[in-house]
Structure 1
Amino acid sequence: MPKKMPSPCIGVCKFRREGHCIGCSMTKTQKKMYKTLKKPAFQRAFVDFLIHQQAAMGRFTHWAPAYLRKCRKKGAVPPAALE
């Protein structure tokens, strides 16, 4: 059984940029939504969506290395798009 994906939050939590966090690009609603996702496949799909959102918004190059460290620390397999 795949390990639970850690939250995409990297602990910055400053909501600017039209309500998006400057650390991970999630809105407050998206952060709440992620917490409700129980199946690893849904969590992984959400993180993939977030990667695309960050690419569209720009200026989130700091997130991927921080999230990779978080995944490795928790023993979760990071999304293929980050490796």
Structure 2
Amino acid sequence: MPEGEEADLAAVLATQLGRGGRETRLSLSRALIALGEVVMPVLRAAMTGTAPGVRQHAIATERLFRDPEAGFGFAVEEAKRLVALGTADREG
């Protein structure tokens, strides 16, 4: 990818958040994380959206970005809990 186009790619990839099964979501999360810090604004925007699946996937990706050792399964379960409790948009 040409230097400086990471944010544009992150925006395009973010349109796919919440789609597919576990492996597809994990693959997308890894691709977003590989882009680095430029994904954070895109993820934060998706975390405040109205579609629960998108919010959960964005939260899980952000958690995985911050703590890759936690694992995707743990991040997904935490994201589901946050969305169910309605606290995802208050998380920082």
Pairwise TM-score range, normalised by the shorter structure: 0.3 to 0.5
Please identify which structure carries the higher strand content: 1
Taking CA–CA contacts closer than 8 Å with sequence separation of 6 or more, which of the two structures ends up with the larger relative contact order? 1
Please identify which structure carries the higher helix content: 2
* TM-score, with length taken from structure 2: 0.38
